[in-house]
Amino acid sequence: MDLDGARTLVAGASGALGGRLADALHERGARVVVGGRRRDSLDALADRFGTQPVLFDAVDGDSCRRAVDEAVDQLGGLDLLVVAVGVAAFGPAAEADAAVVDELFAVNVLGPMSLVRAAAPALEDSDRGRVAVLSAILADLPTNQMGEYSATKAALSAWLGVLRRENRRGFGVLDVRPPHLDTGLETRALAGSPPPLPESWPAGEVVDAVVAALADDTRVLGWDPKLKQLVSRAA
């Protein structure tokens, strides 16, 4: 994908990883609109990019659709949607609180689905339409004390695989499954305390890998624990 001039919405840019992805794409020449829940976190990015931020709440499908529509109107179309929204929760699987589980799936699965569905018509109209969604290594390696969190990532990755097959002539789909990152997500969990986690990986390296994968039309970026790096994988 040619990123120069690509009309781009980064959903979740008020987060640490999403904001860095927005910056990196802007540096590569993309026209970037940033979206998220916190206006104060988005304004500085939007000022640098010369665009207006769009606000949405991932648990509200209508809010997601409105944000995408506003970005499409602002950019005059859409070539790239990047989704970097997510929350964590920890604890034994048999003891999970139902309300926490509902919110995990709403933010980590249903929100990204709503954003992609809303963007699909504009992406199909583009001659370089592409979606990049951040899931996690948990899609491949479900982890104790993270049962529900792992399940959301596995569900999202499964859906992205079907989306890719169904829309191979409409737009490309990139599923990114990074390891534990140094963004502090575990400190903002909906519930519970994290189990012992591996050493955090620099988010900047993931950002660089995602930008390269978009340029190369990669389908899946998975984590190789032996090489300790993100690698392209078959879908």
pLDDT digits (tens, 9 = 90+) for 62-84: 999 999 999 999 999 999 999 99
Instruction: Taking residues 86-92, report their average pLDDT.
Output: 96
- Using one digit for the tens of pLDDT, what is the confidence trace for 153-210? 999 999 999 999 999 899 999 999 999 888 888 889 999 999 999 888 899 999 999 9
Q: Would you call 140 exposed, middle or buried from its count of C-beta atoms within 10 A (0-12, 13-18, 19+)?
A: middle
Q: Check pLDDT > 70 for residue 227.
A: yes
Q: Would you call 45 exposed, middle or buried from its count of C-beta atoms within 10 A (0-12, 13-18, 19+)?
A: buried
Q: What region does 22 belong to: left with phi over 0, alpha with psi -120 to 50, or beta? A: alpha
Task: Give the pLDDT score at 154.
Answer: 97
Distances (CA, A) of 38 to 11, 84, 178: 12, 14, 24
All structural domains of the chain with their residue ranges: 7-233
Contact 47, 21 (CB under 8 A): no
Most distant CA atoms of the chain, gap in Å: 49
User: Alpha-carbon distance 130 to 82, whole Å?
Assistant: 9
DSSP state of 120: H
Tell if the pTM clears 0.85, that is, is over it.
yes
Question: pLDDT band at 233, cuts 50/70/90?
Answer: confident
DSSP state of 187: G
Using a pLDDT cut of 70, give the percent of the chain over it.
99
Q: Would you call 92 exposed, middle or buried from its count of C-beta atoms within 10 A (0-12, 13-18, 19+)?
A: exposed
Instruction: Please state, as a whole number, how many other Cβ atoms lie within 10 Å of the Cβ of residue 8.
Output: 28
E strand or H helix at 8: strand 7-11
- Average pLDDT score, the chain: 94
What proportions of the chain, in percent to the nearest 5, are helix, strand and coil? 45, 15, 35
Beta strand segments in 12-71, E? 31-36, 54-55
Q: Check pLDDT > 70 for residue 235.
A: no
Task: State whether residue 89 is helix, strand or coil.
Answer: coil
**CATH numeric code, 7-233:** 3.40.50.720
> For the chain, what is the radius of gyration of the CA atoms?
17
- Using one digit for the tens of pLDDT, what is the confidence trace for 38-51? 888 899 999 999 99
Instruction: Please state, as a whole number, how many other Cβ atoms lie within 10 Å of the Cβ of residue 15.
Output: 24
